[in-house]
Amino acid sequence: MSVKEHALGKALQILGALKCEYKIITTDGQEHGNLVVVTNNNKRNKPLRPIGTYSNYIRPFIEHLKVGDVAVVPFGEFSGGDLQSNVGARAIHLWGTGSYKSCITGTTVEILRIK
């Protein structure tokens, strides 16, 4: 028995004595323990909408705003909070952090460019 096999045997013995649940997979593929290994092949959550959907909707409403101008962006197919968040993200992209104030008014998002 190799040193590695001996160490593994001791580790399994200790885990068993402690009544631990575990799953050990050795480099040669041997599995020890009764836990089920769950792999998540989906590294990232898939977006609910195609990339650019919000940006393409918002851009025509706010891209030409000058300091002091207000734009009103209707909800359309979006929820208010999601739309307001994306309006803010677009504003930061266009003008920088701290460049706007926004609020939800009825079924629209109003945005004021402040710098």
- 6-56, pLDDT tens digit by residue? 999 999 999 989 989 889 988 888 888 888 877 766 667 778 899 999 999
Both tokens of 52, joined, read 């650019």
Report the pLDDT averaged over residues 65-79: 96
Residue 46 vs residue 60, higher pLDDT: 60
pTM higher than 0.85 for the full model? no
Say yes or no: 12 and 60 in one domain.
no
Res 36: pLDDT: 85
Q: Do residues 23 and 70 share a domain?
A: no
- Asked if residues 113 and 99 have their Cβ atoms less than 8 Å apart, the reply is yes
Both 103 and 69 in one domain: the answer is yes
Mean pLDDT, rounded, of the chain: 91
59 shares a domain with 28: no
Strands 108-113 and 70-74: antiparallel
Instruction: Extract the tokens encoding 88.
Output: 């803010």
Within a domain: 83: yes
Spatial separation of the C-alpha atoms in residues 93 and 109, rounded to whole Å: 17
Residue type, 92: I
Domains of the chain: total:
2
**Domain range enclosing 108:** 53-113
